[in-house]
């Protein structure tokens, strides 16, 4: 693999950073305080065609690979937008991969173009209150009635559900007790959110106020058969197709956020004078920041390796999970070090690093816990017996 960014990759990074310059630290600080989806930021990326970076050109996208998408998402986070900026466009990058891979030609034309143009936005509704990561146990039902399905159930931790037009949702079309394999009987739909039948309640959370997270309650939502992606009962297999891609993108975003925190900490260490000397002269300040740089760069290499394997069509489950784990841990450590470098000022919102620290918990928690990644590597890579 090529360890250095190509000229094309540098051009992508520079173009994204140029857009992000219009949305500086104060913009994201205000979004963190008052909330509200960053629609102007989202539209700026849509205007220049970046929302369809991974979607084929035949449907209005750029037709580029996951590596290019990762570079884009990393640049957004690194600009200072952090997870707030990255999460505002994350769904566009990986979310509709099942439509690209398994949708009909009519569905691709109908569903992808409005998303790329920024005319429609979508949320990804899988997680439920009592199932967590045990996706095969989902309870939300989709009962077929002629030319449509009727959906009933509840989802939770659904980002942007309160303000988007579309929803990619996984629901049970065959009762669990009636399927031969627990991974069967779930179907995937991409449909319009009818607010008369879908209620959202925002979850008041620790950070990333600009991108809402919600409980979603579905009562009698009609979904046309034409909005079902692929075959009935195969939805679980369809969403698996995009999971490695999501882990790689989250790793890229985590490295970007860590770099943003490291840049602020380093600059502060150069400028802050205590006892007539820069605090950056003290090894107690230097060494933690140096360690953070090394760990972020190592995680970035794992991320690029995983992305390259994904783009070549090679198996990359171990690398994708390792990248997500390493990047999330390095990001959290760096953001913590950035706060401590600032001392008391690190706790003040105007210095931004406390916001980064709060947001750094997101890639540690989602979309999969660090403990499950360790279990995966132990079992699939090292050949140890399954522990759960």
pLDDT in tens, 207-218: 999 999 999 999
Same domain, yes or no: 205 and 315: no
Q: Note the pLDDT tens digit of each residue in 85-100.
A: 999 999 888 788 899 9
pLDDT of residue 20: 98
Same domain, yes or no: 62 and 76: yes
> Where a domain ends, among 234, 255, 288?
234
Same domain, yes or no: 262 and 371: yes
Q: Note the pLDDT tens digit of each residue in 241-282.
A: 889 999 999 999 999 999 999 999 999 999 999 999 999 999
* CA 334 from centroid of its chain's CA atoms: 20
**At residue 200, does pLDDT exceed 60?**
yes
For every residue of 44-77, DSSP letters joined together read HHHHTTGGGTTS-GGGTS----HHHHHHHHHHHI
Same domain, yes or no: 65 and 135: no
The answer to the question of residue 2 being in a domain is no
Classified as helix, coil or strand, 310 is helix
pLDDT of residue 91: 85
CA gap 114, 104 in Å, rounded: 16
Q: Could you identify the residue written with the tokens 């891979």?
A: 101
Same domain, yes or no: 250 and 366: yes
**At residue 3, does pLDDT exceed 80?**
no
pLDDT of residue 131: 87
Please report which confidence band the pLDDT of residue 62 belongs to, taking 50, 70 and 90 as the band edges. very high
What pairing do the DSSP bridges indicate for beta strands 213-224 and 141-145? unpaired
Average pLDDT, the chain: 96
Distance of CA 295 to CAs 57, 67, 68, 236, 335, Å? 36, 20, 22, 34, 12
- Structural domain harbouring 308: 240-381
Count of domains for the chain: 3
Q: Residues 120-134: what's their mean pLDDT? A: 91
Please report which confidence band the pLDDT of residue 1 belongs to, taking 50, 70 and 90 as the band edges. low
> Where a domain ends, among 93, 116, 139?
116
Q: Residue 14 sits in a domain of what CATH number?
A: 1.10.540.10
Q: Residue 365 sits in a domain of what CATH number?
A: 1.20.140.10
Quick one: DSSP state of residue 36?
-
**At residue 4, does pLDDT exceed 80?**
no
- Measured CA angle at 153 (ends 232, 244), to 5 deg: 55
CA gap 202, 45 in Å, rounded: 26
pTM over 0.85: yes
Same domain, yes or no: 263 and 205: no
Distance of CA 78 to CAs 98, 219, 232, 330, Å? 28, 40, 41, 14
Same domain, yes or no: 137 and 200: yes
Same domain, yes or no: 99 and 44: yes
- Determine contact, residues 222/148, Cβ cutoff 8 Å: yes
């Amino acid at each position: 693999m090529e360890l250095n960014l190509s000229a094309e990759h540098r051009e992508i990074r520079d173009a994204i950073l140029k857009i992000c310059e219009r949305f500086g630290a104060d913009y994201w600080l205000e979004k963190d305080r008052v909330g509200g989806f960053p629609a102007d930021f989202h539209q700026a990326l849509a205007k220049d065609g970046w929302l369809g970076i991974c979607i084929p050109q035949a449907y209005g996208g750029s037709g580029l690979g996951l590596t290019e998408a990762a570079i884009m998402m990393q640049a957004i986070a690194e600009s200072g937008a952090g997870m707030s900026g990255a999460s505002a466009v994350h769904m566009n990058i990986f979310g509709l991969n099942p439509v690209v891979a398994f949708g009909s030609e009519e569905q691709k034309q109908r569903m992808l173009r409005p998303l790329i143009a920024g005319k429609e936005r979508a949320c990804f509704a899988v997680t439920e209150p009592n199932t967590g990561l045990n996706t095969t146990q989902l309870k939300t039902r989709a009962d077929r009635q002629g030319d449509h399905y009727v959906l009933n159930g509840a989802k939770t931790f659904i980002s942007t559900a309160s303000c988007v037009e579309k929803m990619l949702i996984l629901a049970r079309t065959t009762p669990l007790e009636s399927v031969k394999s627990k991974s069967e009987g779930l179907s995937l739909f991409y449909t319009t959110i009818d607010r008369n039948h879908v209620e959202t309640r925002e979850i008041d959370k620790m950070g990333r106020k600009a991108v809402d997270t919600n409980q979603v309650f579905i009562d009698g939502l009609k979904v046309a058969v034409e909005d079902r992606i692929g075959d009935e009962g195969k939805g679980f297999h369809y969403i698996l197709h995009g999971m490695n891609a999501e882990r790689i993108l989250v790793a890229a975003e985590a490295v970007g956020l860590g770099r943003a925190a490291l840049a602020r900490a380093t600059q502060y260490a150069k400028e802050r004078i205590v006892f007539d000397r820069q605090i950056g002269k003290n090894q107690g300040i230097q060494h933690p920041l140096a360690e953070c740089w090394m760990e972020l760069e190592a995680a970035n290499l794992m991320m690029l390796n995983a992305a390259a394997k994904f783009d070549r069509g090679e198996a990359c489950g171990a690398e994708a999970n390792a990248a997500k784990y390493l990047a999330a841990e390095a990001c959290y450590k760096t953001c913590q070090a950035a706060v401590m470098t600032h001392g008391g000022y690190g706790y003040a919102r105007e210095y931004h690093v406390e916001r980064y620290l709060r947001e750094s918990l997101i890639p540690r928690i989602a979309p999969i816990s660090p403990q499950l990644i360790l279990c995966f590597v132990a079992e699939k890579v090292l050949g140890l017996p399954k522990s759960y």
